[in-house]
Chains A and B, each alone.
Chain A
């Protein structure tokens, strides 16, 4: 059974700092891994999708990497801003290709 773990559960940093969010999964048989952002009381915004055959994806200040063999993904945020404050979720698409398996998220707070 696929389990997704995110560390740390919460993170507070000053504005401008570069940071890394970690995601690990127990079953390497995933089709892809997706990173989301969730603001309080809101839905999920898709940030990056990494296919199982890819190693990383980049969008602006965000870079996500995937290492299937070790069961790890990281989300790197460069030059953090207060507007980056949110909960970041990673999710792996199960082997059947039908369901995303989510971690519990990392709640990020960036202070100005």
Chain B
């Protein structure tokens, strides 16, 4: 049973470009979470999605950031017009359906390291 798959592992973008980060949850999982880890800081929650629905996006910046989890395919975290401050490790986690993370642990991928030149 493959774990949470994130790609790419490393992504380099120039200021003003767009970054797309992909996350395939574990088999059978229908809940996806995105977290960001800035240098020297802890992980911060960004957004929680179920298939085709955003449940909680309270941690996501209001501008330039968006997330989706379509009926088919991986979840996508999209950052438009990237700036140097977006450089970070972005982690995706998933959990099974039902009561989501309340009774089940969240399982994390290896992350995407985003570097902005």
> Do A and B originate from a single complex?
yes
The interface of chain A, by Cβ under 8 A from chain B, is 4, 31-32, 34, 36, 41-46, 49, 51, 89, 91, 93, 96-105
Pair A98/B48 contact, Cβ less than 8 Å: yes
The answer, yes or no, to whether B69 is at the interface (CB within 8 Å) is no
* Chain B residues in the interface with A (C-beta under 8 A): 4, 6, 33, 35, 41-45, 48, 55-56, 58-59, 91, 93, 99-111, 113
- A64–B104 Cα gap in the complex (Å)? 16
CA distance A43 to B23 in the complex (A): 13
| Residues A99 and B100 in contact in the complex (CB < 8 Å), given A34-B105, A42-B110, A43-B110 | no
Give which listed residue, A4, A43, A97, A99, contacts B109 with CB less than 8 A: A43
Listed residue (A4, A45, A96, A98) with the most chain B CB atoms within 10 angstroms of its CB: A98
Give the chain A neighbours of B107 by CB distance below 8 A: 46
B91 — which chain A residues lie within 8 A by C-beta? 43-44
Q: Are A99 and B33 in contact (CB under 8 A)?
A: yes
Q: What is the CA–CA distance of A96 and B99 in the complex, to the nearest angstrom? A: 11
CB distance from B32 to the nearest CB of A (A): 12
Bound-state CA distance A49–B108 (Å) is 14
Q: Give A4 to B56 CA distance when docked, in angstroms.
A: 20
Residues of A contacting B: mostly: strand
Neighbour of A32 across the interface among B35, B102, B111, CB < 8 A: B102
- Given known contacts A4-B42, A102-B43, A102-B44, what 15 new A-B pairs fall within 8 Å (CB)? A42-B110, A42-B111, A43-B91, A44-B91, A46-B107, A46-B108, A93-B102, A97-B99, A98-B55, A98-B101, A99-B56, A100-B106, A104-B41, A104-B42, A105-B42
Could you say which of B41, B45, B106 contacts A101, with CB atoms under 8 Å apart? B45
Q: With a CB–CB cut-off of 8 A, which chain B residues contact A105? A: 42
Contact B43 A46 (CB under 8 A): no
What residues of chain B lie closer than 8 Å to A41, measured between beta carbons?
113
